[in-house]
Chains A and B, each alone.
Chain A
Amino acid sequence: MALVPTMRTSNLNLWALFDKITGNFLLRRIVKALFTIWVVTSITFFVVRAMPGNAVDIMIQDLTAAGVSPDDARNQAAALMNINFDEPAYLQYLDYLGNIARGDFGNAYRSRGLKVADIIAQILPWTVFSVGLSLLITFTLGIVLGAIMAYMRDTWIDHLLSNLAATLDAVSPALIGLLAILFLGVLWKIVPIPEMRGAMSPGIQPEFSLEFFADIFGHVRVLLLVYVLSFIGSWMLVMKSSTISTLGEDYVTVARARGLPDTRILTAYVGRNATLPLFTRLAIVIGVSMGGSILLETLFTYRGIGYQLARASYDRDYPIMQGIIIVITAAVVFANLIADLLYGWLDPRIRIVGGGN
């Protein structure tokens, strides 16, 4: 019933159509996400190609210095970047955007002939696996520990865990990584760090077998531990304060007065409502983990997307850098989008406000 009047008024009216698009929560969020990716893509294009003394000019100089004739060098660079240098700058830019929209990021500079998109497709799963698994562990553990801290507040357990969480939250992931290597690998010799290089051992085939899973877990375990230690502190603290404020809500008091069992209050009344605000943090943490993966994967020589970006920037391999930064941005922006939608779906109050008609 409610839909009919809006249909009639928006009939062939461009302004009303625009209004409807901006009024639509989902559509508005998608447009925003695409806009964000476009901004990063444009910044990369600008610094890699359009600025005076830019990366492509330097690449051509490098090739010329290596004995390639200037014309050949120019053609090679153009082929790598998949751009026609004879076109005016704005057409190059449009070509570049078009290529990226089709998933074509050009060819790698150092390992000739390999497509950047293929390289990324090969390494991306490892980062998704390690970051995703660590997020899952951190999120679950953080919620449980945070709730414990809130329930037992002002006991020694709470003080211990709160201080621990605050300390872990303050120390950067890279330092935790270094300490893990130093203590677990070098001093106590619990894990053989040098043998854990790469995402899996040479000779192991990716297949659905126990041996394969044991092997990839063996390679990822310390990295996973470092991710968890780096990010669990903030989850614990946020969950603690969220639980404490939920415990003060009237509906919890009423539930207690009604004589509901404690476990039911914990799961259905407190737990559910206290975890809600944490979902908005999920997206932020995904972004931070992606940033952290550059240092941590390099530290542990884990062949994921962060390691590859670090290597590419060390090698000045601009096509790969460009491709990876766009993929990382897209991943984080869409994670944000999904988290937003998830939050709206989980929390009816947001859904009503967000639907905003």
Chain B
Amino acid sequence: MQQSIDAVARAWRETVKTFKLLSRNKMGLFGFLMTVAIVFLAFFGPIIWPPETSANVQDINAGVSQHHWLGADFQGQDNLRKVINGGKDMVTVAFLTGLIATLFGVAIGSFSAFVGGAVDGVLMELVNMWLTIPRFPLLVVLATVLKLGDPVTFSLLIAFLDWPSLSRQVRSQVLSLKKRDFIEAATMLDLGTRNIIFSELVPNMMSFIVISMIGTMTHAIYQQVGLVFLGIVPYSGSNWGVMITAAMNRGVLYNPQAMWSILAPMGAIVLFQLALVSFARSLDEVFNPRLRTSV
């Protein structure tokens, strides 16, 4: 009993500490809160504000007003409501891609660094080769041929194209960390490979790993919007990419009044990316063991 109370108390202290570290950096805190807000809105917003099913003729291409904070689209439907309803696919793909690509990148990168020798040489040669391939065109072709219908397979495909760059960075991180004094000391004390990896190496690489993961996530968002724009992945319903495409096809080019239908989804994409990036910048303070002990 006492043990579990202790464990809860320790977890609580850790959480408070993390928040303290996060709030040191104002931009980072803003990014974190913004990310949480966007994810929350994307998943729970549709319950409160379900998508409109009918067109409102009197509101077609309406500007910003009390009723429509971000204007209305070519069917007279509220843009803000559409943005809230269109976030789920984007957020899912971003997180899934980031997770899968990071998992592969970290596993293969650290494996390569630890094994070394010929295996390392061949793996890195292949990774370097892969990096010279123009990946977006390849993604366009693969996505067309494979006829992707759902966010999960789509994330898998983007992750498959994206992990090599991450693995190269992880490898060089591991190689440089391996030579540091504290790792050498741990090796000499014979603390065991597993212990060295998980309690010495990973904490020191954590901020780097999460920052790269966030980089992959923003990349995934753009690729997804790009493919929707090209009409290759027609997810059902509305997402931010579909909104942009619809606005383009419905003559934003000729009608300045329809401007808000395209600015709203673009703003959502930029805001999500901005939130992720500023969150990433502050993560170093949270994960870096040296900075952490100073609180």
CB contacts (< 8 Å) of B144 on chain A: these are 313, 316, 321
The DSSP consensus for interface residues of chain B is helix
- A47 to B160 CA separation, bound complex (whole angstroms): 15
For chain B, the count of residues having a C-beta within 8 Å of the partner chain is 37
Q: Which of B229, B256, B263 contacts A295 (CB 8 A)?
A: B229
Which of chain A's residues has its CB closest to B274's CB? A170
A338 on interface, CB distance cutoff 8 Å: no
A6-14, A83-91, A174-182, A218-226: which lies at the interface: A174-182
Residue contact B145 to A193, C-beta cutoff 8 Å: no
CB contacts (< 8 Å) of B270 on chain A: these are 171, 175
CB contacts (< 8 Å) of B192 on chain A: these are none
Which of chain B's residues has its CB closest to A298's CB? B230
Given contacts A47-B145, A194-B253, A298-B229, contact A178 B244 (CB under 8 A): yes
Residue contact A332 to B132, C-beta cutoff 8 Å: yes
CB contacts (< 8 Å) of B231 on chain A: these are 314
B63 on interface, CB distance cutoff 8 Å: no
For chain A, the count of residues having a C-beta within 8 Å of the partner chain is 50
| A160 vs chain B, min Cβ distance (A) | 19
Indicate the member of A187, A292, A295, A336 with the most B CB atoms within 10 Å.
Answer: A295
Residue contact B146 to A47, C-beta cutoff 8 Å: yes
B283 on interface, CB distance cutoff 8 Å: no
Given contacts A175-B269, A187-B256, contact A294 B136 (CB under 8 A): yes
| A180 vs chain B, min Cβ distance (A) | 12
- A295 to B254 CA separation, bound complex (whole angstroms): 20
Residue contact B273 to A294, C-beta cutoff 8 Å: no
The DSSP consensus for interface residues of chain A is helix
| B93 vs chain A, min Cβ distance (A) | 15
Q: Which of A47, A172, A193, A314 contacts B142 (CB 8 A)?
A: A47
Residue contact B253 to A181, C-beta cutoff 8 Å: yes
CB contacts (< 8 Å) of A174 on chain B: these are 222, 225-226, 229
CB contacts (< 8 Å) of A193 on chain B: these are 253
Q: Which of A287, A290, A295, A316 contacts B230 (CB 8 A)?
A: A295
Which 6 pairs of residues, A with B, have the shortest CB-CB distance? A291-B136, A313-B144, A172-B222, A287-B134, A47-B145, A332-B134
Q: Which residues of B contact A (CB under 8 A)?
A: 125, 129, 132-138, 140-146, 222, 225-226, 229-232, 244, 252-256, 259, 262-263, 266, 269-270, 273, 277
Given A290-B136, A313-B232, A333-B133, 7 more pairs with CB closer than 8 A: A36-B133, A44-B141, A55-B145, A172-B222, A186-B259, A298-B230, A314-B232
